[in-house]
A and B are shown apart, each in its own frame.
Chain A
Amino acid sequence: MTSTLRALLGACAVSALSVAAQAETITVATVNNGDMIRMQGLMDDFKAKHPDIDVEWVTLEENVLRQRVTQDIATKGGQFDVMTIGTYEVPIWGERGWLVSLDDMPAAWDADDLLPAIRGGLTMDGHLYAAPFYGESSMVMYRKDLMEKAGLEMPEAPTWDFIAKAAAAMTDKDAEVYGICLRGKAGWGENMAFLTAMANSFGARWFDMDWKPQFDTEAWKTTLDTYLDLMNNYGPPGASGNGFNENLALFQTGKCGMWIDATVAASFVTNPKDSKVADQVGFALAPDAGKGKRGNWLWAWNLGIPAGTKHEAAAKTFVEWATSKEYTELVASKEGWANVPPGTRTSLYENPEYQKAAPFAKMTLDSINAADPQNPTVDPVPYVGVQFVAIPEFQGIGTAVGQQFSAALAGQVSAEQALQSAQSLTEREMKKAGYYK
């Protein structure tokens, strides 16, 4: 009897120990991009440092991920312990108390090393709500050979007038070379990301300080006219369906003279494995119109922790590892400095090895620094965000306005009609949402 009791007690102790030794599992929701996939391949390092934490990944396409994590955090579904979210979501979710504050990250993580523009976009009322994993702005990528053939030299900080002149000179439609490629596909993160940033440089804004839509202003008219003029005269055919990937394919196959888009594209177009024009690509800041703001945006993919997660401490440990300087060094040691996630830390841009490996580093940093999400426009605005307005209604409104502008590019409506429709639909939605009567 005694031996049976002993055996039972022993079994209980062993099972209790095995439960205690069992690793805590966190679920990380993320997007499918090169940097995130690379991190998944480096999990051995995390596991070696934190054997008590297992990480399960849910990788989804950007739009599916956005819908999925929004639904989960809004309903407190508890499916994810770490979420990859953009600079659009962070201020909105932070304000609502949906995210765990990261103010208490250890000193070694060095929050002061984060690029000020990026940190500013992730901070609400003085609290940091997400850790940036990778940041980007937009800039001009151009073909040096075509520019030289046209007898022009790209300035480091071009104007829209120069871009139009260069686009005209580089276009050779018979040879299927188009002077400029820009986003035309409708969507708040597609053509409206580009057009909102472009509008900032022309002195336009989405709303005035009373939240009244501003599409009936001269500044928006100039913006849309310039965009349509560029694309209709010097852009590729069917541009109203072109997003990042379509333009990347056009540029890589030598069909674009200039392309203004995300700085992350620099590593793709300069990669000789995928790009026919890899050795002929130059970079410049996004254009301006002499009004003090450039037409570049600011975006970062960040790691946020949903409030109410049962694994907050483990989630923080993971976020700290993934967004640390040590992680950058780990990527550099395994895959080279050109492959480290860019756009988040000052120290990276001060690193001579990175400067040497990434010829686009300076332009990326200058572009990021040129964007100010807290003061994105020439005239004051009541919102945060450079190429978006950080309010929950913006996804719907931005896409609806994007459809109007895409229709104008396709020639289905005039620029004037598109602006009128944009004005009326935005007014209607903002009134309905209670921003004004």
Chain B
Amino acid sequence: MARAVSTRRKVFTTALAWGLGLAIFFPIFWTVLTSFKTEAEAIADPPLWVNFHWTLENYVTVQERSDYFRHFWNSVVISVGSTLVGLIIAVPAAWAMAFVPGKRTKDVLMWMLSTKMLPPVGVLVPLYLIFRNLGLLDTRTGLVIVLTLINLPIIIWMLYTYFKEIPVDILEAARMDGAGLRNEILYVLTPMAVPGIASTLLLNIILAWNEAFWTLNLTAAKAAPLTAFIASYSSPEGLFYAKLSAASTMAIAPILIMGWFSQKQLVRGLTFGAVK
């Protein structure tokens, strides 16, 4: 009896998980599908699933109109750059808070998290003026700095959580064996925290890749990443859904492919320490 209930629950949970997964994936699937339709087919009612004239025309138009590779390269530099700089700052910070906590460590962590609670638009004008005065508007350096600062609390929090799961005894044993701080972090802590660091890195690349508020507001022609590339195909006066879908597909494809190949690392890192 107990086994029957368990099987039914298993079937239900599996069906629910599949249903949720498909619901989450559906907008991406529909975007990709629409990118192969003509503009008239994109707005057809009832919607067309597969029985339409498949065309690559939208991709050709997008490629002709925009410099995809310039936007792509900007996205790569900004997302990877900001994540690496963030990790360089966050690893020692998280180590200190996890293994040598002070009286105010929790307050510091909360304060860092509180910076994420402010709506970005609240600091847009001051930051814009600072960037203007420093000559950082429309530069990749400027965006690396901003995205590093924006994602730093998340990076530190994630690493702190992973580090907390590592038994202090192991580090103490290393110290007993004569390991200095550098060796302790490099040869003992880091190998154990690799899944956590890897998932933090991947997640932050995804966050930085998709960040649209700052990347749209602080760039013009030179440093504009793929978010600006998509924005250039949106129009309130004119039905360009098929072209917009093609641009969106081209913009999300690299990060989707990266996510697909690294999903094992991502899941491993995100569930690290979840079950003891």
Contact = CB atoms under 8 A, between A and B. Distances in A.
B231 A79 contact: no
A268 interface: yes
Interface residues of B, number: 31
Interface string B234-272: 111111100000000000000000000000000000000
17 contacts: A27-B220, A27-B221, A31-B235, A32-B238, A32-B240, A33-B237, A33-B238, A56-B221, A63-B236, A75-B125, A77-B137, A243-B236, A245-B236, A248-B238, A248-B239, A252-B239, A262-B237
In the A-B complex, list the 5 residue pairs whose CB atoms are closest, starting with the nearest.
A61-B234, A59-B232, A56-B221, A249-B43, A79-B220
A372 B124 CA distance: 37
A245 B129 contact: no
A253 interface: yes
A68 B216 contact: yes
A58 B66 CA distance: 10
Interface of A: 27, 29, 31-34, 37, 40-41, 56-64, 68, 71, 75-80, 189, 243-245, 248-249, 252-253, 255, 262, 264, 268, 273-275
Contact of A245 (B132, B216, B237): B237
Looking at chain A's contact residues, the main secondary structure is: mixed
Interface of B: 38-40, 43-45, 65, 124-125, 128-129, 132, 137-138, 216-217, 220-222, 224, 228, 231-240
Contacts of A33: 235, 237-238
Nearest to B129: A75
A268 B129 contact: no
Looking at chain B's contact residues, the main secondary structure is: loop
B239 A268 contact: yes
B44 to A, nearest CB: 7
A57 B221 contact: yes
A60 B231 contact: yes
A80 B235 contact: no
Nearest to B44: A253
B235 A29 contact: no
Contact of B128 (A34, A37, A77): A77
Contacts of A274: 39-40, 239
Contacts of A78: 132, 137
A53 B125 CA distance: 31
B114 to A, nearest CB: 26
A243 B238 CA distance: 11
Given A40-B65, A71-B125, A61 B220 contact: no
